[in-house]
Structure 1
Amino acid sequence: MFSPSSALLLSLVLLGASVPADAAVKARIRVTAPAVEPAKPQPRTKPISAEGKPNVLLIIADDLRDYVGWMGGHPQSLTPNMDRLAKMGMRFTNAHCNYALCNPSRTSLLTGMLPSSSGVFGNEQDWRRSVQIAGKPTLPEHFKSQGYTTAAAGKIFHANHGGPEGRFAGWHGGRRGFEQDTAWDQRFPQPGVQIPDLPVHTGQNFNGLNIWHWDWGGISIEEEKTDDGQVVGFAADFLSEKQNQPFFLALGLYRPHSPWYVPQKYFDALPLDSTKLPEVKADDLDDVPAIAKTHLKEGYHKLIVEKSLWKDAVRAYLANIAFCDAMLGRILAAVEKGPNAKNTIIVFTSDHGWYLGEKQMWHKGKLWEETTRIPLSIYAPGLSQPDSATAQPVALIDLYPTLCDLTGLPLPEHLDGSSLKPLLQDPKNKRDHPAITCMNGGKNAGYAARDERWRYIRYADGSEELYDHQADPHEWTNLAAQPEHAALKTTLAGFFPKEFKSAVRPVAEIMGAPSPAGSNDLVLNIGDTLTATEAPKLQGRGVFIDAVFEFDPLVDQDSTLLAQGDEQSGYVLHLVAAQPTLTVFANGKDTVITGAALEKGRINIRAQIETGGVITLAVPGHSEVLGVAPFEQGFPQEPKAGLAAGQSFGLLKNAKYPNSTPFDGQVHRLNLTVLPPHPPAAKPVAPEEVRKP
């Protein structure tokens, strides 16, 4: 089933020698210490034999758009292995993500829930804290509870490269990210860590743009020592063994996510002068609504053009795709050589696409085709037809029910998607609904519906876009204003979610009525948020915070526990390099007090900002620090921002606190008391008033 083709031979030329399975790859460790999880661990069913159920191999590339040979997105894409795998089974030529950012997209795929159902729509939003997901098993959790051995290597849930230091946590998630420890029996590179350390950390500024998260250049590193090379080494070792139970193996290939650092030969394979730019239209943005053009403020496209780096960026992206394809080739070779080739379902996909200057857009986000359309191929031995394809609209939320359907597992009730098995059985089958992609959340949510021919976008302010892919595959002409399409728009809009559910608890569960003395008591959970309108007023008042939590310096040494307000008026209780820190903002200036570094274990922190002008930060039995507040009668003004528990950054600026991350561990108590307003100064008494009887 995996016999080499000319495409495979081409990939092997690029690959060179096979990856050696070193000791680190073989040392797979069982998870023993789960962190806070959204669902209670489900009991396993009776173990089933490896012959009783098919195995599942789920491979997720990062930021991979339609620049894949079989998708035709770019004429210079070198993807022989992606093409070969796609021809082994079914190619889904009209597949889309449900949100064009890493965290909400992966959350959607792995929970089977639309962002509007989970409430998760931001990269810094810890999906594990969503009240909508709580109690609902993720895809790997479900397979584990049904008797499968679950294993993972690389980025599956949201994670990141960890910044210039390759940090375990921080820098928009860090290499741990929002990992779900209890989902896996085996985890590489180690329990609690998703992404192996990059041999060359981001921030090298090879491209001269000095943008830490977006750099590119060739590196002199052996492929097996790259982060993806290490993941592939683990995969090869795992797939070479016969498992006693069927397995669910999830592999995350980080490329072509930035930084675009891959061995130099992948850059050399495509000379810069011959690199082809994407087709664009100079006035493409003239007919789109204002809400769709907010990215112009970033100025990335203008910067790229001014510095003559457009071709350079496209070439770097293509080089990273070629590297990703080479890594996929090694995985396929391991399946072919191992004992599992005849009984393993293989899914290859991406979390979302990527812009390379179309509509003057770079990176990800928005609701246009370049970032919603993704590669998706499924090979199901004995079911899918070789070299088959469908143009029916499908989405990542469909993978959860599909894999349950293909393996005969029961379907959890919370799933929003529908199985793709009917399409795999007969490519002529049709679907009766479009693929839905979301952008932003709550009252600001906008949606795109993509069927076989049309893309309809409706933003939160009611503005629209409509594109006919039969005549306009580049989405250059917005037809939304043409009256003859009114019925079509109504039909497609009918598939948009009717509400966007909140991931956080309602105010009534967090805060009760004020006390007779005028104080407000809040009992918080990590993940709780209150808007400025909902949060208790700060002006003229102080606060008292009592927090008890389990502290692990590897995870939470730079995390935020509680923040309220803004840089004009507010406060943050956070950790900086494991030191408890209280930062108070007043009149645009900050006052900071810091305690001694904490050690691993249960911690109690008590912080108080008194209306009389004293700040206290105490860890009972450990340390106590006093400071002077920048005010004497409570916060001088009412902040414009609300309150958030455990949110990354909060009102801390990432330029100063780049390692800030949401609090990851278990919190036993997080109580906030907003103290009564400072009493007004006593009115001076006139001497004659004193003499009166």
Structure 2
Amino acid sequence: MMSFHSCIILFALGLLAATADAAVKSKARVVSAVGKPNVLFIIADDLRDYAGWMGGHPQSVTPNMDRLAKMGMRFTNAHCNYALCNPSRTSLLTGMQPSSSGVFGNEQDWRRSVQIAGKPTLPEHFKAQGYTAAAAGKIFHANHGGPEGRLAGWHGGRRGFEQDSAWDLRFPQAGVQIPDLPVRTGQNFNGLNIWHWDWGGIPVAEEKTDDGQIATFAAEFLTQKQKKPFFLALGLYRPHSQWYVPQKYFDALPLDSIKLPEVKADDLEDVPAIAKTHLKEGLHKQILEKNLWKDAVRAYLASVAFCDAMLGRILEAVEKGPNAKNTIIVFTSDHGWYLGEKQMWHKGRLWEPTTRVPLSIYVPGVTQPDSVSAQPVALIDLYPTLCDLTKLPLPEHLDGSSLKPLLRDPTTKRDHPAITCMSGGKNAGYAARDERWRYIRYADGSEELYDHQADPNEWTNLAAKPEHAALKSALAGFFPKEFKSAVRPVAEIIGAASPAGSFDLALNIGDVLSAADAPKLQGRGVFIDASFDFDPLVDQDSTLLAQGDEQSGYALHLQASQPTLTVFTNGRSTTISGAALDKGRVNMRAQIDTGGVITLAVPGHSEVLGVAPFDQGFPQEPKSGIAAGQSFGILKLAQYPNSTPFDGVVYRLKLTILPPHKAPMVPTAQAPAKVP
């Protein structure tokens, strides 16, 4: 691995070359950020109100989070805009509500959203305004890469949905967000045999862990004088699961001493049915049966303490370095976490434990030490806040509002609640949180209302009480009026039918058509023409195009770098695969014809033929539509655990739905000639 100094030298040389090249090609004005403050943006993963200053758990050990919170302003009523990693981070980093971007799923590649296209992300904007944009760790959505530590796959992989153009300098390297873990997930220390949710102490030095490596990079960067103002984003992966941290953090918390969260046995009796679907997962029942509740809380607390220790190393570097007097510091989390409240584990939903996040902001010359605001604020407010504090122009697409008035004067009031979303499109539900109340309205119209002044645990749903009708109406007035789609309209994708009855679809990665909108497939075949850049480290198990489901459909995908065409009929699959691809540009053609032949060809590389499980086109109409470049879907998790959205550049992705099968003409029997 290159040293930090070598990276800086190479970066400087590359920057000089790029600058010279740009000067030749364009006479555009170069933006300078000289004299502006630096920004240090630190985001933890899945950190709920267990920062000590928030009072979420009496056994939290977070002296560094507490110290930073007292350096400037701490927000006691801060909330995420979506309680899942990808949509939360997308919202924060684009400045757009999920309802504006259309991004609401962890497997949904935010980079393909038509609503986001052309709009600068937060680091991209700072970079364009003359800042050095640097990052280490998970900033955009990413994950640990599963037992193999993959760059892609396993819920995102260590690359995840990275935006390469956002950064001048990236650790651990360009195109990678999370360093490889010394102990990878799936060890099954806890006996639950859930690969993504395991915990246990590991015999690894702190500096060798993923977050330890990030803290070391940050310390080297922050103790040096930078030539330009910088925007440094640091993503600390803990307390995201798996909860693997050095053993001493577990040893500091004797298991018998662990205090469980306060819960109410009949807490779910007064919530609507739509809010209780998580009970089908049976996680809470499993935790109780295996007597692991205290064990899980202990592991989470150990991970929080470890996160705090890494934050301490970063803060120490700031204080000892040359940038202490001119660096804005923001510390937050992407969302909270459930530890058994309402029988919930993990994240999601619209209740307080998962929407509320720690947020502290220190601004030299602006914030007052040990100041507090209880006003409702949201992560979506950070983009305009940082622009305001650094006097950068404000992009027009931002949905949030600046927190600078609150940072200057802790008595300032806000006139709108924090809004958190759940699900998307017609299924979207929302929560509004003001100083006192949380109001939840689900897509089916059912409601919850909690008075945090009298009921901080949200145990009593007051939504049915008529005296609160005006309050609910007022809070509902802040809910988004529409949920925009991240994909292109149908009319932009499907061409008119040809005289022969075929349909041509010019697809982009990210396009989705419902079964109702997609051209009919029954009795037809398909032809696919694709051209794309292939990187085996990222795209080796990705999907280019899929239509339908396991009963009727197909997928053009890559499996272990092999081009693969899989056809599904009646719950069975037929697969053909070519030779593994090399890195570079690939042209590929695939056909499933109505005569019972399937073909997969990479010109100049390989061509394979197979027999389709039908000879007159697809025997039945698929119940699912078309998706370009999406993960899973028709390729189920159990059989294709590393399926991932296609990450590279796609130059052409053309789908032709072939004309309907026609039975061959049968000659008409002729009458015998008359004998004269």
1:297-327, CA deviations, whole angstroms, 9 ceiling, x for partnerless residues? 1110010000000000000000000000000
Structure 2 CA distance for aligned equivalents of residues 78 and 557 of structure 1 = 42
In the alignment, does 2:210 pair up with 1:223? no
SS state at 1:173 partner:
coil
1:333-364, CA deviations, whole angstroms, 9 ceiling, x for partnerless residues? 00011000000000000000000011110000
CA contact (8 A) 1:231 1:253 kept: yes
Please give the residue correspondences for 1:188-587 in structure 2 after superposition, counting only pairs within 5 Å: 188-587=171-570
In the alignment, does 2:112 pair up with 1:123? no
In the alignment, does 2:49 pair up with 1:45? no
SS state at 1:431 partner:
coil
Structure 2 CA distance for aligned equivalents of residues 632 and 687 of structure 1 = 29
Q: Could you tell me how far 1:258 is from its partner in structure 2?
A: 0.6
Matched letter for residue 641 of structure 2: P
In the alignment, does 2:87 pair up with 1:104? yes
Matched letter for residue 396 of structure 2: E
1:212-242, CA deviations, whole angstroms, 9 ceiling, x for partnerless residues? 0000000000000000000000000000110
Task: State, as a whole percentage, how many aligned pairs show the same letter.
Answer: 83
Matched letter for residue 431 of structure 2: A
1:586-628, CA deviations, whole angstroms, 9 ceiling, x for partnerless residues? 0100001000011111100100001110000000111000001
Structure 2 CA distance for aligned equivalents of residues 529 and 469 of structure 1 = 41
Structure 2 CA distance for aligned equivalents of residues 45 and 120 of structure 1 = 33
1:478–1:619 Cα change, 3 Å = same
Q: Could you tell me how far 1:557 is from its partner in structure 2?
A: 1.1
Matched letter for residue 188 of structure 2: N
Q: Could you tell me how far 1:437 is from its partner in structure 2?
A: 0.3
Structure 2 CA distance for aligned equivalents of residues 283 and 364 of structure 1 = 21
1:95-140, CA deviations, whole angstroms, 9 ceiling, x for partnerless residues? 0000000000000000000000000000011101100001100000
Matched letter for residue 578 of structure 2: G
Matched letter for residue 289 of structure 1: P
Structure 1 CA distance for aligned equivalents of residues 557 and 476 of structure 2 = 43
SS state at 1:378 partner:
strand
Structure 2 CA distance for aligned equivalents of residues 630 and 149 of structure 1 = 56
Matched letter for residue 115 of structure 1: P
Q: Could you tell me how far 1:677 is from its partner in structure 2?
A: 1.0
Matched letter for residue 553 of structure 1: P
Structure 2 CA distance for aligned equivalents of residues 667 and 406 of structure 1 = 39
SS state at 1:319 partner:
helix
Q: Could you tell me how far 1:42 is from its partner in structure 2?
A: 13
Q: Could you tell me how far 1:680 is from its partner in structure 2?
A: 4.0
Structure 1 CA distance for aligned equivalents of residues 521 and 375 of structure 2 = 54
In the alignment, does 2:50 pair up with 1:84? no
Q: Could you tell me how far 1:25 is from its partner in structure 2?
A: 4.5
Q: Could you tell me how far 1:683 is from its partner in structure 2?
A: 7.3
CA contact (8 A) 1:98 1:105 kept: yes
1:494–1:615 Cα change, 3 Å = same
In structure 1, the residue matched to 2:651 is: 668
SS state at 2:328 partner:
strand
Q: Could you tell me how far 1:27 is from its partner in structure 2?
A: 4.4
CA contact (8 A) 1:25 1:233 kept: no
Q: Could you tell me how far 1:513 is from its partner in structure 2?
A: 1.8
CA contact (8 A) 2:31 2:128 kept: no
CA contact (8 A) 2:338 2:346 kept: yes
Which 5+ residue runs of structure 1 have no aligned equivalent?
A: 1-21, 35-40
1:688–1:129 Cα change, 3 Å = same
In structure 2, the residue matched to 1:72 is: 55
In the alignment, does 2:585 pair up with 1:602? yes
1:690–1:203 Cα change, 3 Å = farther
Task: Give the TM-score taking structure 2 as reference length.
Answer: 0.96
CA contact (8 A) 2:135 2:167 kept: yes
1:400-440, CA deviations, whole angstroms, 9 ceiling, x for partnerless residues? 00000000111000000000000000000000000000000
In structure 1, the residue matched to 2:21 is: none
Structure 2 CA distance for aligned equivalents of residues 330 and 671 of structure 1 = 51
Q: Could you tell me how far 1:650 is from its partner in structure 2?
A: 2.3
CA contact (8 A) 1:296 1:360 kept: yes
Structure 2 CA distance for aligned equivalents of residues 249 and 215 of structure 1 = 31
1:472-506, CA deviations, whole angstroms, 9 ceiling, x for partnerless residues? 10101111111100000100000000000000000
Structure 1 CA distance for aligned equivalents of residues 6 and 367 of structure 2 = 35
Structure 2 CA distance for aligned equivalents of residues 442 and 155 of structure 1 = 27
CA contact (8 A) 1:48 1:245 kept: yes
In structure 2, the residue matched to 1:18 is: none
CA contact (8 A) 1:25 1:230 kept: no
SS state at 1:602 partner:
strand
1:496–1:301 Cα change, 3 Å = same
In structure 1, the residue matched to 2:118 is: 135
Matched letter for residue 592 of structure 1: T
1:24–1:197 Cα change, 3 Å = farther
In structure 2, the residue matched to 1:10 is: none
Structure 2 CA distance for aligned equivalents of residues 682 and 42 of structure 1 = 67
Structure 1 CA distance for aligned equivalents of residues 616 and 579 of structure 2 = 28
1:241–1:356 Cα change, 3 Å = same
1:561-601, CA deviations, whole angstroms, 9 ceiling, x for partnerless residues? 00000000000000011110001000100001000011111
> Aligned pair count?
662
Which 5+ residue runs of structure 2 have no aligned equivalent?
A: 19-25
Task: Give the TM-score taking structure 1 as reference length.
Answer: 0.94
Structure 1 CA distance for aligned equivalents of residues 123 and 275 of structure 2 = 36
After TM superposition, what 4+ stretches of structure 1 lie above 6 angstroms from structure 2?
Answer: 31-34, 41-44, 686-691
CA contact (8 A) 2:96 2:398 kept: yes
Structure 2 CA distance for aligned equivalents of residues 346 and 129 of structure 1 = 31
Matched letter for residue 625 of structure 1: V
Structure 2 CA distance for aligned equivalents of residues 230 and 337 of structure 1 = 19
Q: Could you tell me how far 1:184 is from its partner in structure 2?
A: 0.5
CA contact (8 A) 1:151 1:247 kept: yes
What's the C-alpha RMSD, in Å, of the aligned pairs?
1.8
In structure 1, the residue matched to 2:596 is: 613
Structure 1 CA distance for aligned equivalents of residues 249 and 165 of structure 2 = 37
Structure 2 CA distance for aligned equivalents of residues 45 and 385 of structure 1 = 35
